[in-house]
């Protein structure tokens, strides 16, 4: 069987769409973040890029852990942003605004994701 | 690793859009330009200039001037020897009438201060449009937009006088905007250099033509196609006694050139009877571009008086038949200011031709580039020089007009002083008699010897440590910005991929270098305003880094860079402020804003424009804040309509009134703003029909105070171009 969810409900479609968006954000973060690290710049981006990509992939597989990982990454991002620019509004904007909006979307998807995962594990158990 | 593959680019762009839709807060968008090619550019060993291939052969710098370059076919006559000007009577700018704004910067001291006080912070809510006047000059069908009128009208008595972007002159009724006369300069589109601009006309009162006769009062301008023109202030007809039917050909003695290579955009000052001319030479074209010579002409007759030609330092006459003024010398394009008492004109100079490569410059050029040069208006001999950048390879040519003031020293003595704002944001205060600093200037170590073989940088650069800096600390990676983490990361990468060791990072060939402050300033041609009574100086300035790279000649050829006078030159193949061939040197230059070229947003965090009030008695900042809102700018060139004061790039100066107000437009939000000078609070603004990239002015007429701003826009600032002069007055005053 495929590791990814096959959406049949609007909620599942939303989760898959969100997961794709998160992967699309994570990949360039990881890729460019690696170059930045090699050029002597911040390590934050490559680490967070890998985490976010993994989070997206896990979400696409219907795993709650993906959502939790994304939320954790955003939490780390807030801490890192405060560390890097303090409480400066313009400075915080690119660092936390977009990711936090997405985090809200992820939070909204969380119940559906939980249900899906429970149903999935139930069905797996039944098959077993 | 690099972001070069098209797939990744698409991915990046897509991701930025996705992330950006969430957080699309505004940004000053900057104009497109070629991007530096990045790593691996040094394919040709630098050092010796390679002879250009056939496709890129510009005419010899010693070739004779083609006939069409003398735009009005003005007969020149034999080369003239130096002579002295006809004695001058007092001019209206010496002691401006209370109601008038008789010169570009109002007075002989370039204060941009008006004693008018009808409009105040408390009644400014009643400031409404009185009329709009159309100059008639804007891009025609099929013409590339090169417009930025930058015009400040002048007002003397019953007349409001101004020029259009293409040098028509007109007199307007100050109360109604009705056109009284219109002089047609018949300028060709080809004569536009980088920008079609005419900052102001000059009002001149004759010493030889009696009052009441034609051309007693005259309006003078210097044109894009290199003419001086004088017309009568009453009827707008040329003054036959001036030059050849009212015109002087400034291309005389300039040698080989093409229309648009050499141009005048600033009002020429008249000092003790001498009109002083400087000229803009298109940047980045070729090492042996036309001369930056400074010349004097008789204000009465248009007769040649003298020349100051950097590489012919002691010859003040016109070049002999078949010769020309020394080529490639530093050009000056800023508005100059005269000093009748000391008999001097203060010339803010730029750079030798080929701005970003200095190995071929003469010691004489190196002494006077990016400097203030005080020239004796009787002889053309420089009396002193103060240099603001040594061996400039950053295009830190001075764009600002100097402002004159009396500086009171701690011991109570007064020094005739000059304030010189610069693109670096260093503001120098000098003794006008000697050029010595009045406030301390330190020579501080600068990155040296640099990265270009055979072209060493100066080990030190001057810093005006006694004046507040109009700028911020050097950029850090954490200062990179964007709408989302992705475009911010892209900018962090750009930052790390470039050479950067702070201000004066030397030009590099192997990868781009970050130029910060950028060539738009700090302070640019808007200059500063100064209130002598309170000692308050107002400066608006930019915070816009550049991303530049030298390219080998081979690469430059590949990019199609060639000088404007190359027969194969196609408009768009290389611009004055973007990529340039720098022909006859080993390198070309690629210049771009330090921005995310996908979103069109600057890479550094806001603000991109600021306004600062400085108390000149204490040299302390009274207040300082971002200038310009995000309403008309945003990612992908889309307006955000957000009334957030983010601080946008700005071009155009401030005006101070005795009513306690500052008027400034300049910003890319297409607004004119008024600030309370004491608090810095914005008390009024209005959305203009076009970009307000000009310095406003104010005048009173029949008991009513007016504020005028040319909303001509600016092609490089990407603000809407119009031919509208917008004039305001209080709606509760009759």
Alpha carbon distance B454, B459 (integer Å): 15
Q: Decide: B300 and B242 in contact? Cβ < 8 Å.
A: yes
Distance from CA of A84 to the nearest CA of B (A): 7
How far is Cα of residue B536 from the mean position of the Cα atoms in its chain?
A: 23
B8 vs A contacts (CB less than 8 Å):
28, 31
Q: Which residues sit opposite B704 in a β-bridge?
A: B701
Residue A12: both structure tokens together: 């599942």
Beta pairing class for B247-249 and B371-376 = unpaired
Name B351's Cβ contacts closer than 8 Å, sequence gap at least 6.
Answer: B283, B330, B331, B369, B370, B392, B395, B396, B397
pLDDT number for residue A125: 56
By the 10 Å C-beta count (0-12 exposed, 13-18 middle, 19+ buried), B458 is classed as buried
Among residues B240, B136, B257, B130, the alpha carbon closest in space to that of B191 is found at B257
B482 vs A contacts (CB less than 8 Å):
94
Among the partner-chain residues A27, A40, A102, the one whose CB lies closest to the CB of B496 is: A40
Q: Do A29 and B484 touch (CB under 8 A)?
A: no
Judge whether A118 lies within some domain: yes
Residue B28: is its pLDDT beyond 50? no
Which residue would you say has higher pLDDT here, B107 or B559? B107
B2 vs A contacts (CB less than 8 Å):
35
Partner B contacted by A93 (CB < 8 A): yes
Judge whether A7 lies within some domain: no
Catalytic residue among B100, B395, B397, B548: B395
Partner A contacted by B18 (CB < 8 A): yes
Place of tokens 């600016």: B714
- How high does pLDDT run on average in chain B? 92
Among the partner-chain residues B2, B14, B488, the one whose CB lies closest to the CB of A94 is: B488
Partner A contacted by B481 (CB < 8 A): yes
Q: Do A84 and B478 touch (CB under 8 A)?
A: yes
A33 vs B contacts (CB less than 8 Å):
489
Distance from CA of B601 to the nearest CA of A (A): 12
Annotated catalytic, B395? yes
Query: Rounded to 5, what percent of chain B is helix, strand, coil?
Result: 10, 30, 60
Q: What backbone phi and psi angles, to 5 degrees, belong to A22?
A: -65, -40
Residue B43: is its pLDDT beyond 70? no
B646 vs A contacts (CB less than 8 Å):
90
Place of tokens 């809200």: A104
Q: Do A93 and B23 touch (CB under 8 A)?
A: yes
Q: Do B489 and A32 touch (CB under 8 A)?
A: yes
Secondary structure string (H, E, C) spanning B292-338: CCEEEEECCCCCEEEEECCCCCCCCCCCCCCCCCCCCCCCCCCCCEE
Sheet with B671-676, strands from edge to edge, namely B113-114, B655-657, B661-664, B671-676, B682-687
Q: How confident is the model at residue B294 (pLDDT cuts 50, 70, 90)?
A: very high
* Secondary element (H or E) of residue B495: helix B485-497
Q: Decide: B432 and B374 in contact? Cβ < 8 Å.
A: yes
Which residue would you say has higher pLDDT here, B50 or A71? A71
Partner B contacted by A20 (CB < 8 A): no
Residue B107: both structure tokens together: 């007075």
pLDDT number for residue B3: 38
Partner B contacted by A91 (CB < 8 A): yes
Partner B contacted by A111 (CB < 8 A): no
Name B4's Cβ contacts closer than 8 Å, sequence gap at least 6.
Answer: none
Residue B48: is its pLDDT beyond 80? no
**If you average pLDDT over residues B254-276, what whole number do you get?**
97
Judge whether A4 lies within some domain: no
Please confirm whether the linkage preceding B517 is cis (ω < 30° from 0): yes
Residue B514: is its pLDDT beyond 70? yes
Residue B13: is its pLDDT beyond 50? no
Residue A42: closest CA among chain B residues belongs to which residue?
Answer: B477
Q: Do B485 and A40 touch (CB under 8 A)?
A: no
- Per-residue model confidence as pLDDT tens digits over B662-721: 999 999 999 999 999 999 999 999 999 999 999 999 999 999 999 999 999 999 899 999
Partner A contacted by B25 (CB < 8 A): yes
Beta pairing class for B113-114 and B655-657 = parallel
Helix-helix angle B485-497:B6-22, to 10 degrees: 130
B19 vs A contacts (CB less than 8 Å):
25, 98
Name B325's Cβ contacts closer than 8 Å, sequence gap at least 6.
Answer: B253, B254, B255, B290, B291, B293, B307, B309, B312, B319
Partner A contacted by B281 (CB < 8 A): no
Q: Which residues sit opposite A61 in a β-bridge?
A: none
Q: Do A36 and B489 touch (CB under 8 A)?
A: yes
List the single best residue of A74, A81, A94, A106 to mutate versus B (max B Cβ within 10 A).
Answer: A94
List the single best residue of A40, A98, A106 to mutate versus B (max B Cβ within 10 A).
Answer: A98
Q: Which residues sit opposite B229 in a β-bridge?
A: B221, B247
Domain that holds residue A82: 13-122
Q: How confident is the model at residue A122 (pLDDT cuts 50, 70, 90)?
A: low
B605 vs A contacts (CB less than 8 Å):
90-91
- Per-residue model confidence as pLDDT tens digits over A74-109: 999 999 999 999 999 999 999 999 999 999 999 999
Alpha carbon distance B337, B49 (integer Å): 39
Partner B contacted by A104 (CB < 8 A): no
Partner A contacted by B20 (CB < 8 A): yes
Secondary structure string (H, E, C) spanning A90-106: HHHHHHHHHHHHHHHHH
Among residues B645, B647, B682, the alpha carbon closest in space to that of B661 is found at B682
Q: A-contacting residues of B 638-657, CB under 8 Å?
A: 646
Residue A34: closest CA among chain B residues belongs to which residue?
Answer: B1
Among the partner-chain residues B19, B477, B497, the one whose CB lies closest to the CB of A25 is: B19
Terminal-residue alpha carbon distance, chain A: 14
B328 phi-psi bin (left φ>0, alpha ψ -120 to 50, beta other): left
A98 vs B contacts (CB less than 8 Å):
19-20, 22-23, 483-485
Distance from CA of B11 to the nearest CA of A (A): 7
B22 vs A contacts (CB less than 8 Å):
97-98, 101-102
Q: How confident is the model at residue B10 (pLDDT cuts 50, 70, 90)?
A: very low
Alpha carbon distance B116, B658 (integer Å): 6
Q: Do A25 and B2 touch (CB under 8 A)?
A: no
Among the partner-chain residues A85, A90, A94, the one whose CB lies closest to the CB of B485 is: A94
* Alpha helix segments (H runs only) across chain A: 10-38, 44-60, 64-85, 89-92, 98-127
Residue B14: is its pLDDT beyond 50? no
Q: How confident is the model at residue A119 (pLDDT cuts 50, 70, 90)?
A: confident
Q: Is B477 helix (H, G, I), strand (E, B) or coil?
A: helix
Partner B contacted by A22 (CB < 8 A): no
Distance from CA of B645 to the nearest CA of A (A): 11
- Per-residue model confidence as pLDDT tens digits over B63-91: 999 988 999 999 999 999 999 999 999 99
Q: What is the ipTM of this complex?
A: 0.94
Among the partner-chain residues B1, B11, B478, the one whose CB lies closest to the CB of A85 is: B478
Partner A contacted by B606 (CB < 8 A): yes
Please state, for a pLDDT cut of 90, what percent of chain A lies above it.
80
Judge whether A2 lies within some domain: no
Give the lowest-confidence range in A4-18, A65-79, B160-174: A4-18
Among residues A26, A1, A42, A90, the alpha carbon closest in space to that of B472 is found at A90
pLDDT number for residue A5: 86
CB burial readout B412-439, b (16+ within 10 A) else e: eeebbbbbbbbbbbbbbbbbbbebebbb
Q: Do A97 and B22 touch (CB under 8 A)?
A: yes
pLDDT number for residue B22: 38
The total of structural domains in chain A comes to 1
pLDDT number for residue B18: 47
Q: Decide: B115 and B96 in contact? Cβ < 8 Å.
A: no
Distance from CA of B450 to the nearest CA of A (A): 21
**If you average pLDDT over residues B326-340, what whole number do you get?**
97
Please state, for a pLDDT cut of 70, what percent of chain B lies above it.
92
A70 vs B contacts (CB less than 8 Å):
none
Q: How confident is the model at residue B31 (pLDDT cuts 50, 70, 90)?
A: very low
Beta pairing class for B414-420 and B403-408 = antiparallel
Judge whether A116 lies within some domain: yes
Q: How many helices, marked H, and strands, marked E, lie in chain B?
A: 4, 41
pLDDT number for residue B642: 84
Helix-helix angle B6-22:A98-127, to 10 degrees: 100
A53 vs B contacts (CB less than 8 Å):
none
Judge whether A87 lies within some domain: yes
């Amino acid at each position: 069987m495929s590791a990814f969810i096959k959406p049949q409900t609007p909620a599942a479609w939303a989760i898959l769409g969100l997961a794709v968006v998160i992967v699309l954000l994570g990949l360039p973060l990881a890729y460019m973040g690696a170059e930045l690290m090699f050029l002597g710049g911040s390590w934050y981006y490559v680490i967070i890029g890998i985490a976010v990509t993994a989070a997206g992939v896990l979400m696409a597989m219907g795993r709650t852990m993906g959502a939790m990982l994304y939320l954790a990454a955003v939490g780390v991002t807030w801490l890192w942003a405060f560390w890097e620019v303090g409480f400066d509004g313009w400075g915080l904007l690119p660092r936390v605004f977009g990711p936090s909006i997405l985090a809200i979307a992820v939070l909204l998807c969380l119940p559906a994701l939980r249900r899906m995962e429970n149903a999935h594990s139930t069905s797996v158990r039944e098959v077993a | 690793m690099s972001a070069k593959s098209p797939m990744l680019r698409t991915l990046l762009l897509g991701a930025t859009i996705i992330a950006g839709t969430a957080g699309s807060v505004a940004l000053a968008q900057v104009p497109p330009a070629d991007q530096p090619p990045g790593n691996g550019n040094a394919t040709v060993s630098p050092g010796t200039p390679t002879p250009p291939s056939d496709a890129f052969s510009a005419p010899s710098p010693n070739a004779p001037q083609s006939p069409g370059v003398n735009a009005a076919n003005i007969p020149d006559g034999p080369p003239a020897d130096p002579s002295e000007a006809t004695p001058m009577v007092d001019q209206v700018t010496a002691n401006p009438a209370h109601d008038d704004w008789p010169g570009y910067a109002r007075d002989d001291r370039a204060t941009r201060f008006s004693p008018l006080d009808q409009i105040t912070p408390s009644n400014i809510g009643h400031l409404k449009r009185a009329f709009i006047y159309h100059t008639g000059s804007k891009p025609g069908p099929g013409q590339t937009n090169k417009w930025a009128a930058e015009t400040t009208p002048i007002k003397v008595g019953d007349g409001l006088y101004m020029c259009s972007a293409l040098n028509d002159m007109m007199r307007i009724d100050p109360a109604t905007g009705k056109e009284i006369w219109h002089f047609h300069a018949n300028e060709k589109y080809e004569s536009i250099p980088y920008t079609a601009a005419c900052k102001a006309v000059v009002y001149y009162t004759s010493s030889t033509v009696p009052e009441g006769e034609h051309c007693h009062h005259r309006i003078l301008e210097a044109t894009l196609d290199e003419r001086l023109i004088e017309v009568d202030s009453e009827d707008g007809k040329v003054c036959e006694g001036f030059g050849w039917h009212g015109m002087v050909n400034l291309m005389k003695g300039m040698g080989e050139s093409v229309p648009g290579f050499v141009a005048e955009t600033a009002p020429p000052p008249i000092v003790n009877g001498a009109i002083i001319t400087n000229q803009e030479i298109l940047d980045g074209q070729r090492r042996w571009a036309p001369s930056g010579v400074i010349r004097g002409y008789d204000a009465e007759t248009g007769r040649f008086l003298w020349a100051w030609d950097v590489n012919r330092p002691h010859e003040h006459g016109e070049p002999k038949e078949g010769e020309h003024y020394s080529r490639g010398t530093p050009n000056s394009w800023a508005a100059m200011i005269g000093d009748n008492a000391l008999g001097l004109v203060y010339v803010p100079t730029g750079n030798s031709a080929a701005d970003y490569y200095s190995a071929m410059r003469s010691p004489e050029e190196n002494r006077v580039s990016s400097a203030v040069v005080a020239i004796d208006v009787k002889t053309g001999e420089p009396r002193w020089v103060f240099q603001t950048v040594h061996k400039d390879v950053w295009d830190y040519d001075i764009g600002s007009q100097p402002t004159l003031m009396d500086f009171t020293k701690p011991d109570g003595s007064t020094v005739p002083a000059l304030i010189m704002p610069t693109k670096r944001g260093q503001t120098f205060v000098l003794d006008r008699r000697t050029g010595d600093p009045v406030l301390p200037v330190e020579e501080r170590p600068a990155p040296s010897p640099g990265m270009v073989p055979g072209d060493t940088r100066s080990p030190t650069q001057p810093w005006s440590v006694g004046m507040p800096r109009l700028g911020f600390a050097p950029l850090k990676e954490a200062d990179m910005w964007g709408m989302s983490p992705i475009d911010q990361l892209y900018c962090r990468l750009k930052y790390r991929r470039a050479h950067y060791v702070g201000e004066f990072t030397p030009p590099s060939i192997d990868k781009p270098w970050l130029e910060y402050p950028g060539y738009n300033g700090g302070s640019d041609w808007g200059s500063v305003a100064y209130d002598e009574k309170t000692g308050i100086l107002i400066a608006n300035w930019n915070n816009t880094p550049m991303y530049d790279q030298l390219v080998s000649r081979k690469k430059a050829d590949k990019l199609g860079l060639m000088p404007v006078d190359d027969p194969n030159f196609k408009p768009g193949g290389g611009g004055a402020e973007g990529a340039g061939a720098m022909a006859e040197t080993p390198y070309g230059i690629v210049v771009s804003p330090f921005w995310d070229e996908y979103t069109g947003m600057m890479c550094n965090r806001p603000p991109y424009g600021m306004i600062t009030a400085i108390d000149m008695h204490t040299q302390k900042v009274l207040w300082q804040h971002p200038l310009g809102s995000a309403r008309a700018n945003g990612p992908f060139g889309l307006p955000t309509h957000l009334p957030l004061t983010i601080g946008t790039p700005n071009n155009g100066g401030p005006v101070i009134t005795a009513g306690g107000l500052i008027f400034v437009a300049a910003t890319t939000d297409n607004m004119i703003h008024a600030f309370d000078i004491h608090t810095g609070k914005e008390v009024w603004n209005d959305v203009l029909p076009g970009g307000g990239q000009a310095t406003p002015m104010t005048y009173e007429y029949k008991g009513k105070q007016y504020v005028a701003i040319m909303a001509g826009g600016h092609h490089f600032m990407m603000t809407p171009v119009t031919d509208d002069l917008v004039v305001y007055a209080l709606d509760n005053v009759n």
